[in-house]
Amino acid sequence: MNIKRGIPQVCCSLMLFFMSMCLFAETKIAILDFELKDLTLAPRVPAELKRTASIKPLLETELKKAGYTIINIDPKSQKRAESGVGYLFDHHDEAAKLGNQFNADYILVGRLHKPSFLFSYLMGHLIRVDNAKLIGNYISEAKGPNVKLTIKTVESLTVKIDKTLDNRYTPPSKKQF
């Protein structure tokens, strides 16, 4: 009689265990190198190229803090997939194919769009790799080229990405102590 009562409890416990394992499965994100779309009268100055190159590592660091697994896609593979400036940003199916080659769940294609010396936009397309669907189209504004502002803008982008996915990121400035 005790065995019969114990079987449903064991079954429920096992079911809860497997459901919790699914909830805590790692979310794998590939982040491509951000491209610079500089529309100013003095485009592609070294400082702006350096700032653009800093975005991917900053974003990877913030997403890692939230528990996401970052998938590395080497620059050569990204370059082979790019058929020109902005190609992967505009062709989600091709970006998804690239992410699939590296076993990513999601791929983020980003751009630093600079229409003025006074401000720029950090833009990102988050694509679900298994069906090549755009699930996030993000824009975060940065006023000025200051490094601290770039970091805050990356944090803002991280919040938006996380809200689409697992909702577990807390920006450094908002952490409870």
Residue 160 lies in a domain: yes
Q: Does 20 score more than 50 pLDDT? A: no
Residue 110 lies in a domain: yes
Residue 98 lies in a domain: yes
Residue 111 lies in a domain: yes
> What domain range includes position 160?
25-170
CATH of the domain at 117: 3.40.50.10070
Report how far residue 97's alpha carbon sits from residue 128's, in angstroms, rounded to the nearest whole number.
10
User: What confidence tier does 63 reach under pLDDT thresholds 50, 70, 90?
Assistant: very high
Task: Say if residues 158 and 140 touch (Cβ distance below 8 Å).
Answer: no
Residue 7 lies in a domain: no
Residue 157 lies in a domain: yes
Q: How many domains does the chain have?
A: 1
Alpha-helix runs per DSSP H in 66-112: 75-81, 87-90, 92-101
State the pTM of this model: 0.83
Residue 10 lies in a domain: no
For 99, half-sphere exposure in the C-beta direction (CA atoms, 13 angstrom radius) is 28
Residue 99 lies in a domain: yes
Tens digits of per-residue pLDDT, 31-47? Answer: 999 999 999 999 989 99
- Residue 109 in tokens: 């294609």
Tens digits of per-residue pLDDT, 66-109? Answer: 999 999 999 999 999 998 889 999 999 999 999 999 999 999 99
